[in-house]
Amino acid sequence: MNSQYGRLHNLFEKNFLEYSSYVIRERAIPDIHDGLKPVQRRILQTLFNMEDGRFHKVANVVGETMKLHPHGDASIFSALVNLANKEYLIERQGNFGNIYTGDQASAARYIECRLTPLAKEILFNKDLTEFVESYDSRMMEPVTLPAKIPLLLLLGADGIAVGMATKIMPHNFCELLEAQIKLLHNEEITLYPDFQKKGLVDVSHYDHGNGRIRCRARIEEASDKTIIVKDIPHGTTTQSLIESVEKAAKAGKIKILSINDYTAEDVEVEINLARGVYAKETIEALYAFTDCEVAITPNLTLIKNNTPLTCTVEEVLEHNTRKLVHDLTKELEIDLGRFQEKLHARLLEQIFIEERLYKQIEEETSYKAVIKSVDSALQPFTAELLRPVTNEDVERLLEIKIKRISRYDINKQQKEIKEIRSEIKKISHHLKDMVGYTVSFLGDLLKKYGHLYPRQTELCEFEEVSVRSAALANLVVGYQRATGFLGHNIKAEDEKQDFTLNCSEYDRLLLIFNDGMYKVIPVTDKLFIGHELAWIGVVEDGLTFNVLYRDGQENLTYAKRFTTPKFILDKEYRLFPEDKRSRILLLLMGQGTSAHVGLAPSPRAKSNTMEVYFDDYLLKNPSAKGKRISPRVVRRVTDSTGKAAPKPLKQNMSLLGLVDAVKESVPPGENTEEGEGEGNAKE
């Protein structure tokens, strides 16, 4: 039983590994050498095989590619349209869809394509291409194409394989070639993505092909009530962007009147705003809640030497640049060999005709003797030749027609030989300085094609939009002291006892209770918090709290000031130690506040009242004890206006603070003669 299980396990493991390897290498992940996935490589090779200068029906191209690609016409057609819409390698004729709106291409039988001049110049060379049999052994297909530009970084790639994925960002044509020139000069390079859909991109956290980037739409204010989206982020369409805006509006995160898509050759999405809403504040909300801003996590995974590998942009470009130098060197060496062979053949022909060596074969009776005679006749001239004479050379001379000999032009032949020698000298010079030749090659490409591919995406840094600050305060949180319930499903009934607070779903609420306990909770629909709530407000940095509280153990009153406290959601904290007699007497917000305090009568005191100016006290930790305002017992506390229940402060209308006035009688047996004066000491 165990042996059968082991064999079955090994069978599944072997088949799964084979399947995984196939998906990784043959379908999803591009190769570092030419930057192409197999289906893209087969499409381009098929177009090259069909090349006659005219457009071809895409349906015919798909059908021909199926001879090399085993996965059906749908995947080939989709890959061809995607590759054509990148506009570098395939020239289009007809409706190939719209990358901005997401509209699909017409049927394959209605549209046509062919290779671009750039593709024909930089992609194909039979002398440098290794061919293998296709899946059915009927044709030969390239292992990789000898690409002379870094297509992997130019085109970008997305792919999901088994256990891994790749997400390579596209880059700018000119910037890539300029970076290669810098590498050849041993200079440092910096590369950032460039997207067809333009827009804005923040590369602050971009990590050489990995890391994280943020893309934004370019939004303009046509007026206070109208917004125009001009560019869209990478990976989105106007349709998906409009859907995200409508979803945000339905959820109450933004308020719009209508949205219209006028996109044709350029993006133009018009957003009309509702009454009471203005463009400036809505733009921030669009970035926060819609696809007007998207975060992308690049992942530069590729195939190198049949192995998946994660690299950096610089490593890929260095590899492509070294490969370019190698390929150009090999091309020059092949061209040099061909010109040398051509020169050798022309010199042999010149000697054979001008020296009339052909007359020596007139008396020979056999073909073998003829060859021997010509070979012997050429021996005195071997010093003028580039290499020894072979039988193939002699046979080529014997194939010259009498008509050609009779019309032989010595001057024309000398001119052609001179031109061939000039080419050989030129190639030999290039081979001695391959760096200079490669730089010249890249410079020619830039001069010829660079103006066609300017940078589309603007590089900039933009601050992270706070979802909370951009959200509309569309919830009204109510508190009923009588029931003890709080939430946006609760309505305040008693104006004096109950609270109401406008906030958004992303806000956090700070609750402070009369017994000194405080905590922070998320906005809720309905929650029981009890009857002793002293203050409620939205958590905001930098708020100043001014508190007078009575210490139950000492029966003395303390003043303290603190700013918005740090917190963990739903965790309870205390402003002062817990005691059933301790409680908050007054809580005021902001600067410039004061309290009028009534003290227990004392025979030696000149006055039984005092003013507490909170600005005279230092800001300390919320848990600090504070400063005793007087050694005498406090009987009554009001704010500076004399009101026991202060209204919300004007400088912070989102916060409500209500505290009942406290009237305390002196407990029996209390010594009221302790201390003199008001005792309003400063800290």
The domain locations on the chain are 31-147, 213-296, 313-452, 473-663
How far separated are the first and last CA of the chain, in Å rounded? 85
575 three-class SS: coil
- Rounded Cα distance between 385 and 468, Å, is 84
How is domain 213-296 classified at the architecture level of CATH?
A: 2-Layer Sandwich (3.30)
Question: Confidence class of residue 436 from pLDDT cuts 50, 70 and 90?
Answer: very high
- Rounded Cα distance between 135 and 438, Å, is 36
DSSP state for residue 551 in the 8-state scheme: E
Structure tokens at 314: 């610089």
Q: Say what the pLDDT of residue 477 is.
A: 85
The residues, ordered by sequence, that sit 6+ positions from 241 with a Cβ below 8 Å of its Cβ are 217, 229, 232, 269, 290, 291, 292
The residues, ordered by sequence, that sit 6+ positions from 92 with a Cβ below 8 Å of its Cβ are 84, 85, 111, 112, 113
- Rounded Cα distance between 621 and 91, Å, is 69
Q: Is the pLDDT of residue 377 over 70?
A: yes
Catalytic residue among 19, 22, 88, 110: 110
Q: Is the pLDDT of residue 612 over 60?
A: yes
> Can you tell me the mean pLDDT for 561-589?
89
Place of tokens 């305390």: 664
Going by C-alpha positions, the residue among 267, 48, 268, 85 that lies closest to residue 170 is 85
- Rounded Cα distance between 610 and 630, Å, is 9
Q: Say what the pLDDT of residue 669 is.
A: 37
Q: Within a 10 A sphere around the Cβ of 635, how many other Cβ atoms?
A: 18
pTM metric for this prediction: 0.74
Tell me if 308 sits within 8 A of 162, measured CB to CB.
no
Q: Which amino acid is at 333?
A: E
Structure tokens at 584: 């908050």
Going by C-alpha positions, the residue among 528, 460, 461 that lies closest to residue 489 is 528
604 vs 555, 636, 666, 676, CA distance in Å? 20, 20, 17, 6
Angle (CA) 588 590 591, round 5°? 110
> Can you tell me the mean pLDDT for 538-545?
87
Give the β-pairing of 458-459 and 200-202. Answer: parallel
Question: Confidence class of residue 676 from pLDDT cuts 50, 70 and 90?
Answer: very low
Q: Is the pLDDT of residue 411 over 70?
A: yes
- Rounded Cα distance between 77 and 63, Å, is 10
Q: Is the pLDDT of residue 109 over 90?
A: yes
Going by C-alpha positions, the residue among 80, 103, 86 that lies closest to residue 197 is 86
Q: Is the pLDDT of residue 353 over 80?
A: no
pLDDT digits 0-9 by tens, 242-284: 999 999 888 888 888 899 999 888 899 999 988 888 888 888 8
Let me know if the fold of 31-147 is the same as that of 313-452: no
Task: Supply the CATH classification number for the domain 313-452.
Answer: 1.10.268.10
- Rounded Cα distance between 208 and 291, Å, is 25
The residues, ordered by sequence, that sit 6+ positions from 235 with a Cβ below 8 Å of its Cβ are 215, 294, 296
Tell me if 654 sits within 8 A of 538, measured CB to CB.
yes
261 three-class SS: strand
Q: Is the pLDDT of residue 222 over 60?
A: yes
> Can you tell me the mean pLDDT for 297-304?
89
- Whole-number average pLDDT of the chain: 83
Place of tokens 């080529």: 396
> Can you tell me the mean pLDDT for 55-63?
95
pLDDT digits 0-9 by tens, 120-139: 999 999 999 999 998 888 99
Task: Supply the CATH classification number for the domain 473-663.
Answer: 2.120.10.90
pLDDT digits 0-9 by tens, 196-220: 999 999 998 899 889 999 999 999 9
The CATH number, out of the four listed (3.40.50.720, 3.30.70.3040, 3.40.50.20, 3.90.199.10), of the domain defined by the range 31-147 = 3.90.199.10
- Rounded Cα distance between 186 and 652, Å, is 59
pLDDT digits 0-9 by tens, 552-572: 888 899 999 999 988 888 889
Going by C-alpha positions, the residue among 584, 570, 578, 588 that lies closest to residue 529 is 570
Q: Say what the pLDDT of residue 466 is.
A: 58
Q: What is the total residue count of the chain?
A: 683
For the ranges 31-35, 176-180, 495-499, 590-594, the lowest mean pLDDT is seen at 495-499
* HEC profile of 73-137: HHHHHHHHHHHHHCCCCEEEECCCCCCCCCCCCCCCCCCEEEECHHHHHHCCCHHHCCEEECCCC
For the ranges 211-215, 584-588, 662-666, the lowest mean pLDDT is seen at 662-666
The residues, ordered by sequence, that sit 6+ positions from 126 with a Cβ below 8 Å of its Cβ are none
Place of tokens 């992940």: 29
Place of tokens 């010594």: 671
Helix pair 313-354, 173-184: axis angle to 10 deg: 80
Known catalytic residue at 617: no
> Can you tell me the mean pLDDT for 109-117?
95
Q: Say what the pLDDT of residue 94 is.
A: 94
